[in-house]
C-alpha cells in the first residue's frame, strides 16, 4: 500500500511549534525522544509494574466501577446549604466531565424525603380523574407499550440559584451542577393517556410521586400529549434509585421538579392544582411583589466547565482548551460565543458531537494564553433565536429575589498562575 | 386553557382492547380501578413503606450505584470457555439493556493479561518510527489538542464465535455480548500523527498497549488518518480500568482488538508487522486451508435481545414487544426486518433513536402473540446495501473453521410457555 504524502504540511498549524498568534507552544511537558530529558525519564525508559504483572480478570467485577485514580470525580453536596441531607441537593462534577452524556452515577440528586427504595414488582402507576377509563399499570404492563429512546438534559429550576446574589460558590459543580443529560428509554405519555382516554374537558395533568414527600406538579395537557415520557431506563440500564427507580416522568426542556420521580399517579383535571411546589416554591418573585408562575421552560444557558475554579490551568502559557456545555429547553443550540477578556471581544466556539433538541451540547474554544489575567465567559444562542442574557439583565428584568431560572452568563477570573475564581463584572 | 378533544378516537388502536389482528389484549395484569381485583390489591389501597419513611440523603453516594433490585444485571463470564479469567472474556447483558448506550459498568471485557492499573500521571504515549519528529505525550499534553466526541460500537471479532459450530450458548448475552456502545471523547489520531509528521513512506501504524500482554495490531495508515481516535473518556467520564484507562485507541467499525487498551505506543512503518494477534489469531481459516487476514470491518449484524433465552415471555398471549440491536462497521443501519415464523414472513421493524454511523441502533417489532410456537429472527441491512447473511451462507462461503466474524442471523425458538431457546433452522 502506497503511503500518503507526509502529513506535515507547511500550512498545518502545529501545536508544538506555536499557534498563528505566535504564542508559546506546548513546550514544557512534551519531551522529544532523543532529548536528554526523555532519555532519563524512567517512565519512558524503564519497565513499569503494569507492563510485567498480571491484573485482575474478567470475573473481578460483574458491575464495573471507576479507576481508583478517579475517586475525586464525585457528586458533592454543600452541607450548609440545607438543614439536613434528606431534603437537599448534590451537584454533578461538570468540571471533570466530557461530551454530552452524564454517567449515571454522577447525575445530581435533589430529594425532598430522601431516596425511596421501591421493589419494581410492587410499583404501580395509576391514571385517574377526567379519563374514560381509570387504569393501573405494573412495570411489566408498561414494557408492553411502544418504546422510545431520547437524549434530554434535566435541569433543576434552582440551578445557579445562589448566584442571583452575586458570585457565591467557587466552582461550576456548585454554580451549574444541578443539570445532567442521559438517554431515557420509556413510553410516550401520550400513549399512556390515550389508553385511558382523556375526556374533552381534561386540560391539566397532575403527576405524583411515591416517595414520602409525594411530590406533585401540574402539567398542561398540551405538553403532556406532546413529548413527555414515562421512563424506566437511563443510559441503557434501569433508572438509579436516586433518579426515581423504577419510573419517572420526563418533561423535555422543562423545570426539573416536573420530572416526578418514583412516579405513581397521573390525574387528569380541568385546572391546575396550585400545589406547594408550584406556588410557594418554583415561582419567580418580582420587584413589584408579584410572582411569575408556570415558568416552565429552562431557558438557553451555557458555562465554561474546564478550566474553572475546581480545575485551574496547570500547564502555564501556551495552547489552551476551554471546554463547556450549552443547552436550551427551546430546542438545540445554534451557536456559542466565548470571550477571554470579559466581553470586549467575542469568538465563536466549536460545537462538537450530536446536536439534539433539549439535550446538552459540548463546545470548545482554543487559544494561546500569554499568562495574562483573563475574564472567561460563554454566551449561547438557541435555534429559536433566544440569546443567553447577562445576570445584570436578568436582575433588571426580574429584581433581586428571583431564586429560580438563573440562566445568566457566568464569568471566571483567571490569574497569571492559572488560579480561577467565580466573579461578576459589569 | 381549553382541553383537547378526547384522545380516545375510534381509529386509535388500543393495546388493552386488542390489536388489529384481533389477538388477545393486555388483559391479565392490567387491572381497572373499580374492578374487584384492584380494590383488594394492597399495593394500590395501602400506604407502602416508601410512602411514609425517609430515605437516604444526598450525601449517601458520592458515586451512585444501581438499585439492589437490579443486581441480576451484570457482566457474566463462562468459566469453561478459557483456562483462567485473566486471559478471558465476559459478556454485556444485552437482554437487560435499553437504547443504544451501554452503561460503563456493563461493557464487556476481553483481556490477555488482566486489567493494567495505571496512574494517569505515570502514563506516556510515544510516537516513533517513520515520523519527522518522534514524540512522547503525557495525558495532560493530550488534553491540549482539539477534542472530539463520537458514539461508536466496539465488537470483538470473536463475538458469536462459538456459534459457528451450531446453537451453543443459551442467551444473547453469551451469543452476542462481546459488543458495547458508548460516547468516546478524545483526540483524532490524525491530529496526533500530524504533530509527529508521517514520512512519505509511512503506510502502516502499529498500536501497542502497556499491559503485560503488550497487545499490538497493525493498522493501515489510510484508516489511521481517517476517523481513528485516541480516547480518554467514555460516556462522559474517564475510561474504566478494564476499558484501557487512561487511554485507548478507537478504530471505528473495525475489529475490537485493534482498539488497543492502555495505549502506550504508535509506531509508523512501511509494512504490516504480522504480529500474533493478526496472524495466529484474528484471521479466518477457510476450507481450502488458506486464511483471510486483515478482515478488519465488523460487518452488518443484528439480534433480538428481548425476549431471548435469559428473558422468557412471562405475560402470556397478547401484545408482545420484540427489542433488538443492529449495527454495521460500514455505516448506519438502513433497515431491520423481523420474522416470527423462521423466515416465511418478514416484517419491517421500527428503528428508534439516533442513527449514528458505526454505532448501535435499537429496533422494535410488536405483534400479538397467540401462544403458538415461534422462530424469531432479525435481519439488518446497512446503508451501503450489505444484507446480514444466514449462518449457513457464511459457512458455505468460509467453511466450518472460521471462528471470527460471525454476523449470521440468530434464531430463537419460543414455546407456548414463553420459554426461549437458541436454535438453528435451515
**B93-126 confidence digits (pLDDT tens):** 999 999 999 999 999 999 999 999 999 999 999 9
**Residues paired with B339 in a beta bridge:** B377
Cβ of A32 within 8 Å of Cβ of B2? The answer is: no
* Percent of chain A predicted with pLDDT > 70: 91
Element (H, E) at B339: strand B333-339
> A8 falls in which pLDDT band (50, 70, 90)?
very low
Q: What are phi and psi of B313, to 5 degrees?
A: -80, 120
Q: Helix and strand tally (H, E) in chain B? A: 8, 23
Least Cα separation, residue A393 to chain B (angstroms): 31
For B325-355, what is each residue's pLDDT tens digit? 999 999 999 999 999 999 999 999 999 999 9
Cβ of A33 within 8 Å of Cβ of B128? The answer is: yes
> A38 falls in which pLDDT band (50, 70, 90)?
low
Task: Please give the pLDDT value at position B319.
Answer: 95
Task: Please give the pLDDT value at position A401.
Answer: 85
Cβ of A315 within 8 Å of Cβ of B151? The answer is: no
**Residues paired with A413 in a beta bridge:** A375, A421
Check if the beta carbon of residue B235 is closer than 8 Å to that of residue A101.
yes
- Sorted by where each begins, the domain ranges of chain A are 4-45, 82-293, 301-423
Element (H, E) at B21: none
**Among B104, B358, B39, B98, residue whose Cα is nearest residue B239:** B104
For B274-291, what is each residue's pLDDT tens digit? 998 899 888 988 889 899
> A360 falls in which pLDDT band (50, 70, 90)?
very high
Which value, in Å, is the radius of gyration of the alpha carbons in chain B?
A: 25
> Which fold does the domain B82-293 belong to in CATH?
Sulfite Oxidase; Chain A, domain 2 (3.90.420)
Quote the cell numbers at residue B213: 500482554
d(CA B382, CA B299): 9
Contact of A61 with chain B, judged by CB distance below 8 Å, is answered with yes
Topology agreement, domain A82-293 and domain A301-423: no
For A183-200, what is each residue's pLDDT tens digit? 999 999 999 999 999 999
For B231-240, what is each residue's pLDDT tens digit? 999 999 999 9
d(CA B163, CA B174): 10
- What mean pLDDT do residues A295-317 have? 97
pLDDT tops 80 at residue A272: yes
Check if the beta carbon of residue B280 is closer than 8 Å to that of residue B390.
no
Cβ of A30 within 8 Å of Cβ of B132? The answer is: no
d(CA B168, CA B411): 12
Rounded to two decimals, the pTM is: 0.93
- What mean pLDDT do residues A125-136 have? 96
Task: Please give the pLDDT value at position A41.
Answer: 79
Collapsed DSSP state (helix, strand, coil) of residue B24: coil
Quote the cell numbers at residue B239: 475510561
Q: What are phi and psi of A424, to 5 degrees?
A: -125, 140
DSSP letter, residue B345 = S
Task: Give DSSP secondary structure letters for B123-174.
Answer: --EEEEESBSS-EEE-HHHHTTSPPEEEEEEEE-TTTTGGGGGSS--SSHHH
Check if the beta carbon of residue A186 is closer than 8 Å to that of residue A152.
no
CATH class for the domain made up of A301-423: mainly beta
Check if the beta carbon of residue A328 is closer than 8 Å to that of residue A299.
yes
Least Cα separation, residue A181 to chain B (angstroms): 10
CA end-to-end distance (rounded Å), chain B: 60
Cβ of B85 within 8 Å of Cβ of A114? The answer is: no
Quote the cell numbers at residue B125: 504515549
Q: Say whether the ipTM exceeds 0.90.
A: yes
Cβ of A200 within 8 Å of Cβ of B141? The answer is: no
Please, what is the Cα angle at B305 between B300 and B309, to 5 degrees? 125
CB interface of B with A, residues 148-167, below 8 Å: 148-151
Residues of B in contact with A64 (CB under 8 A): 75, 104-107, 240, 242
Residues of B in contact with A200 (CB under 8 A): 3-6
Dihedral sign for Cα A159, A161, A166, A170, please. negative
For A403-424, what is each residue's pLDDT tens digit? 899 999 999 999 999 999 999 9
Q: What is the mean pLDDT of chain A?
A: 91
Task: Please give the pLDDT value at position A266.
Answer: 98
Check if the beta carbon of residue A353 is closer than 8 Å to that of residue B149.
yes
Amino acid at each position: 500500500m502506497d503511503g500518503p504524502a507526509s502529513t506535515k504540511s507547511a500550512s498545518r498549524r502545529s501545536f508544538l511549534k506555536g499557534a498563528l498568534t505566535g504564542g508559546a507552544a506546548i513546550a514544557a511537558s512534551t519531551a522529544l525522544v532523543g532529548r536528554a530529558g526523555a532519555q532519563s525519564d524512567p517512565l519512558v525508559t524503564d519497565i513499569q509494574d503494569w507492563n510485567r504483572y498480571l491484573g485482575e480478570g474478567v470475573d473481578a467485577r460483574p458491575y464495573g466501577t471507576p479507576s481508583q485514580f478517579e475517586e475525586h470525580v464525585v457528586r458533592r453536596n454543600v452541607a450548609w446549604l440545607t438543614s439536613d441531607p434528606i431534603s437537599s441537593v448534590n451537584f454533578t462534577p461538570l468540571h471533570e466531565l466530557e461530551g454530552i452524556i452524564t454517567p449515571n452515577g454522577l447525575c445530581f440528586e435533589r430529594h425532598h424525603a430522601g431516596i425511596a427504595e421501591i421493589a419494581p414488582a410492587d410499583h404501580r402507576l395509576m391514571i385517574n380523574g377526567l379519563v374514560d377509563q381509570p387504569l393501573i399499570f405494573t412495570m411489566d404492563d408498561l414494557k408492553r407499550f411502544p418504546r422510545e429512546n431520547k437524549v434530554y438534559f434535566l435541569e433543576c429550576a434552582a440551578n445557579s440559584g445562589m448566584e442571583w446574589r452575586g458570585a457565591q460558590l467557587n466552582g461550576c459543580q456548585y454554580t451549574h451542577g444541578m443539570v445532567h443529560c442521559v438517554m431515557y428509554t420509556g413510553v410516550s405519555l401520550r400513549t399512556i393517556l390515550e389508553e385511558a382516554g382523556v375526556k374533552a374537558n381534561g386540560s391539566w395533568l397532575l403527576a405524583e410521586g411515591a416517595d414520602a414527600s409525594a411530590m406533585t406538579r401540574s402539567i398542561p395537557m398540551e405538553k403532556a400529549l406532546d413529548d413527555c415520557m414515562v421512563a424506566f431506563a437511563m443510559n441503557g440500564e434501569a433508572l438509579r434509585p436516586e433518579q426515581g427507580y423504577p419510573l419517572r416522568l420526563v418533561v423535555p426542556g422543562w423545570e426539573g421538579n416536573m420530572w416526578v420521580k418514583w412516579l405513581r399517579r397521573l390525574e387528569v383535571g380541568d385546572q391546575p392544582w396550585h400545589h406547594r411546589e408550584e406556588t410557594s416554591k418554583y415561582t419567580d418573585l418580582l420587584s413589584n411583589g408579584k410572582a411569575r408562575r408556570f415558568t416552565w421552560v429552562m431557558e438557553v444557558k451555557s458555562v465554561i466547565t474546564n478550566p474553572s475554579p475546581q480545575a485551574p490551568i496547570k500547564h502555564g502559557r501556551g495552547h489552551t482548551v476551554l471546554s463547556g456545555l450549552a443547552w436550551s429547553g427551546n430546542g438545540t443550540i445554534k451557536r456559542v460565543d466565548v470571550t477571554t477578556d470579559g466581553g470586549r471581544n467575542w469568538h465563536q466556539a466549536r460545537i462538537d458531537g450530536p446536536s439534539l433538541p433539549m439535550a446538552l451540547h459540548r463546545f470548545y474554544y482554543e487559544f494561546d494564553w500569554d499568562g495574562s489575567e483573563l475574564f472567561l465567559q460563554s454566551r449561547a444562542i438557541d435555534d429559536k433565536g433566544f440569546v443567553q442574557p447577562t445576570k445584570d439583565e436578568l436582575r433588571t428584568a426580574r429584581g433581586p429575589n428571583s431564586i429560580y431560572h438563573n440562566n445568566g452568563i457566568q464569568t471566571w477570573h483567571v490569574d497569571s498562575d492559572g488560579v480561577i475564581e467565580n466573579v461578576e463584572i459589569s
